[in-house]
Amino acid sequence: MKISRLEFAAVLLAAVCVAFSAGWFLRGNAAAQPVRVESERTLVQSTPQLLPAPTATPQPQSKEEALESGEKVDLNTAGREELMTLPGIGEKRADAILAYRQANGPFRTPEELTEVDGIGEGILEGLIDYVTTGEDTR
């Protein structure tokens, strides 16, 4: 049995459509989009607990003495006066750091300070060598 030109063209056109469709669907499966995973460590406290009373530690007399001592200020345990020994941190910024820590939990990295109101990249650069979170390896 012989097929006409019209039938041959219809079969050829159908084969091209099937091949195009198969390629279209296979391309979509082979080039899957990357998956973005975001994680956040959240501290949950089931019952409120009272913190132990802070122990009295000798505070340096000036910012210069604090910076020369070589000890880093732990952002997660420092009080207002200790935070104020850092360069670029006065009363308002120290209060903002304490408020951020109270609202969001402990700092994970010193770079997280940029999320505190009033602290940008410039201030962070000036005090990054003088702070720690107790978890970082600096």
Burial class (CB in 10 A: 0-12, 13-18, 19+), 95: middle
The secondary structure of residue 124, as a DSSP letter, is H
Query: Does residue 87 lie within any of the structural domains?
Result: yes
pLDDT at 48: 62
Q: Which two tokens mark 59?
A: 């505070």
Q: Which two tokens mark 123?
A: 């201030």
CATH (domain of 104): 1.10.150.280
pLDDT at 138: 44
Query: Does residue 53 lie within any of the structural domains?
Result: no
What total number of domains does the chain contain? 1
Query: Does residue 83 lie within any of the structural domains?
Result: yes
pLDDT at 14: 97
Query: Does residue 112 lie within any of the structural domains?
Result: yes
Who wins on pLDDT, 21 or 70?
A: 21
Q: How confident is the model at residue 4 (pLDDT cuts 50, 70, 90)?
A: very high
Residue 58 pLDDT > 70, yes or no? no
Query: Does residue 54 lie within any of the structural domains?
Result: no
Query: Does residue 113 lie within any of the structural domains?
Result: yes
Domain that holds residue 113: 63-132
Task: Give pLDDT tens digits for 91-134.
Answer: 999 999 999 999 988 988 888 888 988 888 888 888 888 888 87
Query: Does residue 45 lie within any of the structural domains?
Result: no
Residue 50 pLDDT > 80, yes or no? no
Query: Does residue 42 lie within any of the structural domains?
Result: no
Residue 66 pLDDT > 60, yes or no? no
